[in-house]
Amino acid sequence: MASSSDSSAISAGRPRPSPELMKTLWAGKAALRTRRAALPLPEKVRLLLELQRLVLPLIARQRPLRSWEQPWDIEP
């Protein structure tokens, strides 16, 4: 595991993002959150299940899934 001094040494070689880029990224993130918050509940559940279907195989490749991580066989 890298220590905090190792992390700062690694990031020291990369330039920091410009304030304009950060402002644009934060604005995009806020807009996405606003759009997602306005979605109806069935659409939010559908998105959640879609994300689970994408992530769980990646986790399962690294370790066995825990009982509470097993996906439900449901369709919204």
| Residue range 26-43, pLDDT digits in tens | 999 999 999 999 999 999
Structure tokens at 44: 């939010």
Give the per-residue pLDDT at 4: 56
Give the per-residue pLDDT at 68: 84
Give the per-residue pLDDT at 23: 96
Indicate yes or no: pTM above 0.85. Answer: no
Does 61 reside within a domain? yes
How confident is residue 63, by pLDDT bands cut at 50, 70 and 90? very high
What is the pLDDT averaged over residues 13-36?
A: 93
Residue 45: domain span: 41-76
Distance CA 16, CA 61 (A): 34
CA atoms within a 13 Å half-sphere pointing along the CA-CB vector of 32: 6
Contact residues for 75 (Cβ-Cβ < 8 A; gap 6+): 49
Does 45 reside within a domain? yes
Total domain count for the chain?
A: 1
